[in-house]
Structure formats: C-alpha cells, structure tokens
C-alpha cells in the first residue's frame, strides 16, 4: 500500500522529476533575463529612462522575444509534458539517457542562439543576431544563431519521440483503453508541432544557414517569411496548448471540482491540430507578393480557430462553477466568491483566462483582413500578444508552477501570499501595459522601434494623451518585471525549503463526463494527422508555388512580378503535369 510520501510525483518518478526540474530551471533563468530586457525596453521606448544606445534596443528586443517566447515557454512546456506523460500513463520514460539527451541538445541550441544575440552588445566580438523574434530574411544573423535554433527544434522533435515511445509501450499493456486525457493532449500538441516545424526547419536548414555562411548569394525573402509564418502561427498554439491543458486538467481541481467534459477537451485539441497550421498567411496581409485570394482563404480558416477557444472558455468556466458549488457557492454569480482566490495557482490561472478573453477579441481584429490594415505593425500587435502568450500562457505557467514545483522538489510552496501578490501584480501590470499598447496602436504608433518620437509630428489619441499612454506602458512594464522577481524569489526559496511528506494535494479527480461516452474515432491519431496534413497541402501549395515563381525562384535573385493566384496555379499545374508525364513514361 502506498504511503503518503509515495504519492508525491518526485517519490514515484525521481528520474522524471529531475528532467522536469532541469527544464523548469532553464525556463526560469530565461524568464528572468527576458523580463529584465523587457524592463529596459519599456523604459527606453517610452523615453522614461534610457540606459542603452538605441542601436542596442534591437539586440534586447531580439533577446526578449527569443528568451521569453521560445526558451521560457518551450522549456516549461517540455518539463510540463514530461510530467504529464509520466503521471497520466503512470510509468517512467523508457530511457533516462534519451530524456537527458534531448534536454542537453535543447539547452546547447538555446545557449548558441543566446550567445549570438548577446554578442550584439559587444561590437568587437563580430557576432550578432539582431533579427528580432521574427527571424526571416532580409535581416541576417550570425550562423550560430540559426544553427542553435535548428538544434533546438530537433531537440523538441526528440522530446516528442520520447513521449510517443512511452505511449507506444503503454498501449501494448492497455489494448482497447482510451488514451488518458493528458497524454492525448500531449500527443495531439506534438503532432501539430511536427507538422508546423517543417516550415521553419526548411527555412533555416536550406536557406538561412547556407545564406549566413555565404554558401548561397541570396534567398527569396518572401519565401522565408512565408515559411516562418507557416511555423509561427501554430507556435502560438504550441504555447497555448499547455496552458489549455492546465485549464482543463488542473484548474477544475484547484477550483474544488472536476473537469466538465473530457470528450469536449479532446475535440478542442483535435480542432487545434487541424486548424492551427493552415492559417499562417494571416500574418502577411500586407505582404505584396501574395495574392489577395490566398489571404482571404487564410482569414476564413483563422475565424474557424475561434471555435475551440470559445469551447475552452465554456468548459473552463463550467468546471470552475461546478467547483465553486461543491465548495458551497450559490446563486447566479455569488458562486464566484466561493472560489479559492487565496490560492495563487487558481487565481493566476483565472486572471490569465480573463485577459485571454481580451486578447482573443483583439486577435479577431488582427485576423480580419480589412481592419488588420488599421493596426498592422503598430503597437496594437505587441499589446495583443502580451495578453495571449504574455499572460494566458506565461501567467498560467507561473501559476501552475505554484502547484507543480512542490511536486518536483518535495517541499511546500515558500509563500502563498507572495504568490498571490505576484499573480495580481502581473494582472494589473499587464492591464496597464497592454491596454495602453492597444490604444497607442490605434493612434498609429509603430512597433519594433526604439524611439517612436518624431520631430514635427505628434501622434493623436482620441481619449487622454500620448504621454499618459507612455506612462501606462512604463508603469505596466515595471510591475511585470517586479512580478517576475517575486515569482523567481518564491520558486528559489521553495526549492531550498524543507522536504515535506505531502507538499501539495496532487490528486486530479476524474471528469464529470468521461471519455467512455465519446466516439472512439477521437483517439484515431493517424487519421487526424492525415487530415491535418491534407489541410496544410490545400492551404499552402498554391501560395508557395506562386511565391517561388513570382519571387525569382527558390533562392530569389530575379525581379519580382505582381502576385496573382493564376501564377501559383500555373506553376502547380506545370509541376503536376510533369509528374504525371514522368509517371506515365515509367509505367509505359
């Protein structure tokens, strides 16, 4: 019979807990550095305090984006998924060595990319990567930046292979059983990631690395942009899906209840698998080399993506209401008061959900082709993604850490009040900053600019003043940085605390509506993967063909021609006819 101490994750799976902790450690170091860069930027561009050269702003901006949006989120995700697979399959990873191998490769790749970025602050070094998070041509980085990124991506593929291997071995012993929900979520997310990262892998390996090494004289910039966005919209869901996983499987428990519906959660993750990738062109509404028709199709696909997010909102709130009523909550709205608001893990996730709703609405503006023109490349866009990846994802991850880290260290959380102050400070800071960013974007203030202050020109805002918006952004950014400091302080002291037999209640109750009532076809991952690939082929074949033809070939160099749908159609038809003729020739 299991003792109390054996119920803790670190006692049941010590090797896996070590891998998860290592992933979280890298994630939190990246969070600290990235947040510091964020503080420097926010004070610089608002002209409150300028401690760096404006030329170095772009180095810091790249560091902020890469360290937070790639290193922090994905290391956390890998640690969280490793925990979820071991917990939900109730078995350790098949090879400890393999787990450490992908972690080592990811860390090495991240270190190379970070060296290339930080090298920009030391001019004599001759290494820089001031290419921003959106690292497509024509901006060029040092080769080690791209090589580091390639290693990082390959390492995530290996991490996915680790989890698929665990699932395959589990399946042999559990014929006919439904895939445990958390494992299902990990596997569908990773399938989506495999499909999505093909774009960035092709871009980096075949174009950007040879170009940065001088092996090829030029690239087709629009092709590298398109391949980047082919990857960089689904990466949004790669960030979001672990947050959703926490909202579906952990938040209901923290609320005091159970998940409302397991089948609905599966449907949502399948919809993200199908719809995340064939939409990347909606980031390119103002790219002149892509025909309007393709952009319209991308916009339509994007609007379908609202469905799984709305389903999630419904399920998360229904689960929270169920939890509140289990705790004695009553009435139409009074049940909200019965929720465990003193628990930073719960409150952080609830705040993240509230701001994600706001981020969803501003995302609809981004996704609409006509109104996108109003806010494209303005400060509105950072305002939007600081609500989504910067809050829905980052705040959920920090809040989840208050519940997860004690399971890994075997120690109790150092301070719940500090945790509560931290998540609240993040919420308030983000409201100040992102609200002002959205409004500044509507006034036309550009993004990716160190000094958005111009001579003989003043931006005008219909309500308040531009000065107020600047102060709001600086105040919000400062609160966010202080919030990260509190979080890291709490995590550090938690990990140094005394071991406890039961540091946290880690039991996750079964859903109200279980998987047994849902169609088994939901678990047919091969079929869903096939459909996802088909959708990508349908969405991207013609636009990519047109970009190659119009942009002077795979490696550019030719004169661009106006974009038309027929150009892509011509190239695709020619290629198809050639292939059929060859096939007929071989058969004949």
Question: Does 136 help bind other proteins (rule: CB under 8 A)?
Answer: no
Quote the CA–CA distance of 557 and 542 in Å, as a whole number.
Answer: 21
Quote the CA–CA distance of 265 and 513 in Å, as a whole number.
Answer: 11
Quote the CA–CA distance of 500 and 516 in Å, as a whole number.
Answer: 37
Residue (381 or 431) nearer to other proteins, CB: 431
Q: Residue 91 pairs with which residues in a beta bridge?
A: none
Cis peptide before 138 (omega within 30 of 0): yes
- Which listed range, 72-80, 215-223, 389-397, 461-469, lies at the site for other proteins (CB under 8 A)? 461-469
Question: Does 414 help bind other proteins (rule: CB under 8 A)?
Answer: no
Residue (62 or 347) nearer to other proteins, CB: 347
Question: Cα dist. 502→11, 102, 220, 505 in Å?
Answer: 11, 31, 57, 7
Residue (189 or 347) nearer to other proteins, CB: 347
The encoded tokens of residue 306 equal 């609202």
- Which listed range, 55-63, 266-274, 299-307, 416-424, lies at the site for other proteins (CB under 8 A)? 416-424
How many helices (H) and strands (E) are present in the chain, helices listed first? 22, 0
Exactly one of 365, 428, 554, 565 binds other proteins (CB under 8 A); that residue is: 428
The encoded tokens of residue 192 equal 């989506």
- Which listed range, 264-272, 308-316, 378-386, 431-439, lies at the site for other proteins (CB under 8 A)? 431-439
How big is the site for other proteins, counted in residues (CB under 8 A)? 29
Q: Residue 454 pairs with which residues in a beta bridge?
A: 457
Quote the CA–CA distance of 366 and 361 in Å, as a whole number.
Answer: 9
We find the least distance from the C-beta atom of residue 360 to other proteins, in angstroms, to be: 15
Contact 28, 79 (CB under 8 A): no
Question: Does 435 help bind other proteins (rule: CB under 8 A)?
Answer: yes
Exactly one of 14, 417, 519, 553 binds other proteins (CB under 8 A); that residue is: 417
- Per-residue string for binding with other proteins, 3-42, x by CB under 8 A? ----------------------------------------
Residue (130 or 343) nearer to other proteins, CB: 343
- Per-residue string for binding with other proteins, 308-347, x by CB under 8 A? -------------------xx--------xxxxxxx--xx
Question: Does 96 help bind other proteins (rule: CB under 8 A)?
Answer: no
Question: Cα dist. 464→43, 193, 384, 562, 573 in Å?
Answer: 20, 43, 21, 43, 56
We find the least distance from the C-beta atom of residue 397 to other proteins, in angstroms, to be: 19
Phi, psi of 446 (to 5 degrees): -75, 160
- Which listed range, 8-16, 170-178, 266-274, 426-434, lies at the site for other proteins (CB under 8 A)? 426-434
3 state SS for 454-501: ECCECCCCCCCCHHHHHHHHHHHHHHHHHHHHHHHHHHHHHHCCCECC
Q: Using CB under 8 A, which residues numbered 504 to 523 contact other proteins? A: 505
Residue (80 or 351) nearer to other proteins, CB: 351
Buried b (16+ CB within 10 A) or exposed e, 82-91: bbbbbbbbeb
Question: Does 464 help bind other proteins (rule: CB under 8 A)?
Answer: yes
We find the least distance from the C-beta atom of residue 328 to other proteins, in angstroms, to be: 5
Q: If you write DSSP's letter for every residue of 187-251 in order, what string do you get?
A: HHHHHHHHHHHHHHHHIIIIIIHHHHTTSSS---HHHHHHHHHHHHTHHHHHHHHHHHHHHHHTH
Q: Using CB under 8 A, which residues numbered 234 to 273 contact other proteins? A: 254, 256
Question: Does 427 help bind other proteins (rule: CB under 8 A)?
Answer: yes
DSSP, collapsed to helix, strand or coil, labels residue 335 as: helix
Residue (202 or 428) nearer to other proteins, CB: 428
Q: Is 516 exposed, middle or buried (0-12, 13-18, 19+ CB in 10 A)?
A: exposed
- Which listed range, 73-81, 129-137, 238-246, 460-468, lies at the site for other proteins (CB under 8 A)? 460-468
Residue (152 or 432) nearer to other proteins, CB: 432
We find the least distance from the C-beta atom of residue 204 to other proteins, in angstroms, to be: 40
Question: Which residues are designated catalytic?
Answer: 233, 237, 384-386, 447-448
Q: Using CB under 8 A, which residues numbered 342 to 401 contact other proteins? A: 342-343, 346-347, 351
CA atoms within 13 A on the CB side of 316: 24
Question: Does 420 help bind other proteins (rule: CB under 8 A)?
Answer: yes
Question: Does 190 help bind other proteins (rule: CB under 8 A)?
Answer: no
Contact 62, 448 (CB under 8 A): no
Residue (506 or 523) nearer to other proteins, CB: 506
We find the least distance from the C-beta atom of residue 253 to other proteins, in angstroms, to be: 8
Binding site for other proteins (CB under 8 A): 254, 256, 327-328, 337-343, 346-347, 351, 417, 420-421, 424, 427-428, 431-432, 435, 462-464, 468, 472, 505
């Amino acid at each position: 019979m299991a003792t109390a101490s054996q119920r803790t994750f670190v006692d049941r799976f010590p090797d896996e807990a070590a891998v998860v902790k290592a992933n979280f450690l890298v994630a939190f170091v990246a969070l600290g550095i990235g947040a510091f860069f964020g503080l420097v930027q926010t004070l610089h561009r608002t002209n409150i305090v300028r401690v760096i050269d404006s030329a170095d702003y772009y180095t810091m901006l790249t560091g902020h984006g890469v360290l937070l949006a790639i290193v922090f989120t994905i290391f956390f995700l890998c640690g969280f998924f490793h925990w979820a697979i071991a917990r939900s399959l109730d078995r350790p990873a098949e090879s400890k060595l393999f787990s450490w191998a992908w972690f080592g490769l990811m860390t090495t790749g991240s270190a190379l990319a970070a060296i290339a970025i930080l090298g920009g602050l030391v001019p004599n070094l001759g290494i820089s990567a001031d290419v921003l998070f959106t690292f497509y041509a024509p901006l060029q980085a040092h080769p080690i930046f791209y090589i580091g990124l390639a290693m990082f991506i390959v390492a995530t593929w290996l991490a996915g292979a680790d989890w698929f291997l665990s699932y395959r071995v589990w399946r042999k012993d559990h014929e006919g059983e439904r895939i445990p929900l958390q494992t299902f979520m990990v596997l569908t997310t990773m399938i989506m990631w495999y499909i999505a990262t093909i774009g960035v892998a092709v871009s980096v390996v075949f174009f950007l690395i040879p170009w940065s090494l001088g092996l090829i004289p030029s690239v087709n910039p629009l092709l590298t942009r398109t391949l980047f966005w082919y990857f960089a919209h689904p990466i949004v869901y790669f960030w979001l899906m672990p947050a959703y996983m926490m909202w579906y499987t952990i938040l209901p428990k923290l609320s005091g209840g159970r998940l409302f519906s397991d089948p609905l959660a599966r449907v949502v993750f399948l919809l993200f698998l199908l719809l995340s990738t064939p939409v990347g062109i909606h980031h390119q509404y103002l790219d002149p080399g892509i025909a309007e028709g393709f952009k319209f199709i991308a916009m339509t696909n994007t609007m379908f993506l609202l469905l799984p997010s709305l389903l999630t909102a419904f399920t998360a709130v229904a689960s929270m209401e169920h939890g509140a009523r289990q705790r004695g909550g009553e009435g139409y709205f009074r049940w909200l008061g019965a929720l465990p608001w003193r628990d930073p893990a719960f409150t952080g996730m609830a705040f993240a959900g509230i701001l994600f709703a706001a981020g969803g609405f501003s995302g609809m503006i981004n996704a609409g082709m006509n109104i996108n023109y109003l806010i494209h490349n303005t400060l509105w866009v950072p305002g939007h993604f600081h609500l989504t990846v910067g809050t829905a994802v980052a705040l959920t991850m920090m809040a989840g850490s208050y519940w997860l880290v004690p399971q890994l260290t075997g120690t109790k959380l150092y301070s719940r009040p500090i945790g509560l102050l931290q998540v609240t400070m993040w919420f308030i800071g983000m409201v100040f900053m992102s609200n002002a960013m959205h409004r500044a974007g509507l006034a036309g203030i550009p993004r990716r600019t160190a000094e958005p202050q111009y001579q003989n020109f003043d931006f005008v805002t219909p309500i308040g003043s531009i000065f107020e918006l600047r102060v709001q952004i600086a105040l919000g950014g400062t609160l966010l940085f202080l919030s990260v400091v509190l979080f890291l302080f709490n995590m550090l002291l938690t990990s140094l605390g005394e071991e406890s037999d039961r540091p946290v209640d880690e039991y996750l109750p079964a859903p109200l509506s279980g998987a047994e009532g849902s169609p088994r076809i939901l678990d047919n991952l091969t079929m869903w993967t096939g459909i996802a690939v088909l959708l990508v082929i349908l969405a991207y074949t013609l636009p990519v063909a047109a970009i190659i033809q119009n942009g002077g070939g795979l490696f550019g160099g030719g004169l661009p021609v106006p974009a038309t749908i027929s150009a892509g159609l011509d190239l695709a038809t020619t290629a198809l006819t050639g292939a059929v003729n060859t096939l007929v020739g071989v058969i004949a």
